[in-house]
Amino acid sequence: MTQTTETRELTAEADDAQTARALVEEQVPQGFELLQVHNAMPRGGRVIATAIIREAATRQIEADGPDYAGARDALRAKVPEGERLLSIVVDD
């Protein structure tokens, strides 16, 4: 299974960290996952929450080889640029 490595950034501003996070969470589109939230409080006294999100969808790819190591290497070679390998399932 593979998943994109591309991320997006969301921001929200509020009087406190809890409200800023809630505002960020409301912005996360369906099909995306919230990876990280960082709060900052510049001199103005308001909290700015910056969130990193990524598309949650995964995709399956397959590869064959003469043995596990060969199949694993062939599979890794098929991972598209901009995606990461999440798991390998061996099918006997």
pLDDT at 90: 84
Record the pTM: 0.80
Beta-carbon contacts of residue 60 (< 8 Å; ≥ 6 apart) = 1, 2
pLDDT given for residue 34 in this prediction: 96
Q: What is the dihedral of CA 76, 82, 88, 92, to 10 degrees?
A: -60
Q: Residue 91: what pLDDT? A: 80
Domain boundaries, given as residue ranges, for the chain: 2-85
In this prediction, residue 44 carries a pLDDT of: 75
pLDDT confidence of residue 48: 95
pLDDT along the chain (92 residues), means of 10: 96 94 96 96 88 96 92 94 92 75
Rounded Cα gap, residues 25 and 42, in angstroms: 21
Strand, coil or helix: 16: coil
